[in-house]
Chains A and B, each alone.
Chain A
Amino acid sequence: MGLSGPDLAAIGLTLQLATVVTVVLLIIGTPLAWWLATTRSVLKGPVAALVSLPLVLPPTVLGFYLLIAMGPQGWIGQFTQAIGLGTLPFTFGGLVVASVLYSMPFVVQPIQNAMEAIGTRPLEVAATLRAGPLDRFFSVVLPLARPGFLTATVLGFAHTVGEFGVVLMIGGNIPGATRVVSVQMYDHVEALDYAGAHQLAVIMVLFSFVTLVALYRFQSRRGVSGLKYGG
């Protein structure tokens, strides 16, 4: 099949966005998941709910509020302007911020589940072997939660590739900057170019299917009771 230049640009942009978002999410999601897995704070419930909101909210709601917050009058917008970044809506950076929030539960929850499954015993064992808190985190928690990290990476990446509503609200449709595959496909349909839409749609279906099959096979082989959104 012959993908057009704009199609390829959209695919490239989508992969770039998903990669950046996944890396950012692993960096901020890991300490957040550890906090959620271990805290006894009364804030645990509210924070967990906040992280999980994108699971139930229509993406347009999240996109709408982000658009306002990141706009020239919003508090995020005021801040980004003050440090000389301008405003984020309709930029790649804005897409990253929105996607990080939108895909957060898909990364935090598998890591948190894996960390909770470790239990207290291995950590007590490590403490009796002179491992301090940070040492225990790196030498026990991270290796034992590894299956959770794999699930988190795959789901975070795949979910970012598949988003549409948030992107449209926050990023609009700027070729090479914010026009990702899902938006490009929407354009094809709007233009009644069903053949073009088909090509992208098939690629998306295959990508998602293969990704999930690979993930579930890994989970069942490792006996991981990971997260099975829709699975």
Chain B
Amino acid sequence: MDTIKLRFHHGFGPKAPAPTPGFRLDVNLTLPATGISAIFGPSGSGKSTLLRCIAGLLRADTGYLSVNGQLWQSEGHWCPTHRRPLGYVFQEASLLPHLSAGGNLEYAVKRAPSGQSRAVYQHAVGLMGIGALLDRMPDQLSGGERQRVAIARAILIQPELLLMDEPLAALDDTRKREILPYLERLREELDIPVLYVSHSADEVARLADHLVVMENGKAVAQGPLMDVLSRIDFPVRLGDDAGTVTTVRVVSRDSHWHLVKASFRGGEFWLRDSGDEPGAAIRVRILARDVSLTRSLHEDTSILNRFEATVTQIVPDDDEAMVMVQLTVGSLLLLARITRRSRAHLALAPGQTVWAQIKSVAIVR
């Protein structure tokens, strides 16, 4: 039952604002109704249009939507937005301007389906760290603060599905870094399925459990995040953002060098000490541009993480100078983005054993 089934087909009329001219939305998906599902793609790919269809803010020409077995929309059945048990966080300032931050939260509390205790309210306020802001009007808040209030408001309406439309896109990098931890707490502390629209590979790598890739109004790939990201035919041209995400377990901390050792099936990494205790599961991201290949093991290198890897696939890159190489190290999938010249120089071919040097492993969670 824990699934979101959706099917939307929508063409925009001559007057309606389509993301791009001639755009059509054609999506047919079944998503898990747990964790964070990211809807990822370049701007104009129809991510936001899809989210608006799910919310009922846009009435698709034909549509079907059921959430956890509840029918929200089908041919002949239409549930308007205000009757859908959802929360929605818009891209930019969406606080009601005539109400204070606290007034905006009360607006949701008053309309939530069942009364909630003060404790729930306090929890949402605490989770988003907005306790000191409640008396301020929206125009007295920074962009990041406004967005935290908007997220708390969306939680207080007690949604069965939380929709977030690029909640960080309108913010600068500093503000983004300020909000990301709050989004992670949201995922850890609340059991609400989230559909998260984003065009940022960083945010997706950090937050998502499940990934849907949109291009030209269609879902071109979907599945668990780690599987989709390590596909070499990844249909969205990520360029420098291409890379894999994997979960590893902290084995030990080396206080002398300020490093931690983390293991995956088939090997171990050295990472900069993140403060995680042994036993903790952490998510790491390895960008394809940070993986280099050698035919023999180099000991005299500054690079700590070196693995014997098997080449599984090699495909051309969008950039004519580059190729993308997919490798396996035990259970770990890696992508390496190297020049076509190096590939010829090393005479790389599928099935070969090479040494992969990983210049940096970013802990994303």
Contacts and interface: CB of A to CB of B under 8 A. Distances in A.
Do these two chains really belong together in a complex? yes
Interface of A: 121-122, 124-133, 135-136, 139-140, 143-144, 146
A108 B96 CA distance: 24
B77 interface: no
Interface string B226-252: 000000000000000000000000000
Nearest to A122: B96
Interface string B143-165: 00000000001100100000000
B96 A126 contact: yes
The 4 closest A-B pairs by CB, nearest first: A128-B88, A127-B81, A130-B111, A143-B98
Interface in B33-88: 55-57, 80-83, 86-88
A129 B111 contact: yes
Interface residues of B, number: 23
A110 to B, nearest CB: 18
A131 B82 contact: yes
A136 B56 CA distance: 16
Contact of A130 (B94, B96, B98, B112): B112
B98 A128 contact: no
Contacts of B107: 126, 129, 131, 139
Given A128-B87, A128-B88, A121 B111 contact: no
Interface of B: 55-57, 80-83, 86-88, 90, 94, 96-98, 107-108, 111-113, 153-154, 157
B220 to A, nearest CB: 28
Nearest to A142: B98
A121 B93 CA distance: 10
Contacts of B87: 128
Contact of A129 (B83, B97, B157): B157
A124 B81 contact: yes
B57 A127 contact: yes
Nearest to A139: B107
A128 B105 CA distance: 13
A129 to B, nearest CB: 5
Contacts of A127: 56-57, 80-82
A130 B82 contact: yes
Contacts of A121: 90, 94
A140 B96 CA distance: 8
A128 B96 CA distance: 12
B55 A128 contact: yes
15 contacts: A121-B90, A122-B97, A124-B81, A125-B88, A125-B90, A126-B107, A127-B57, A127-B81, A128-B57, A128-B86, A128-B88, A129-B82, A130-B113, A130-B157, A133-B82
Nearest to B109: A129
A132 B81 CA distance: 9
A212 to B, nearest CB: 26
A140 B104 CA distance: 11
Contacts of B56: 127
A117 to B, nearest CB: 11
Given A122-B94, A126-B107, A129-B111, 6 more contacts: A122-B96, A126-B96, A127-B81, A129-B157, A139-B107, A140-B96
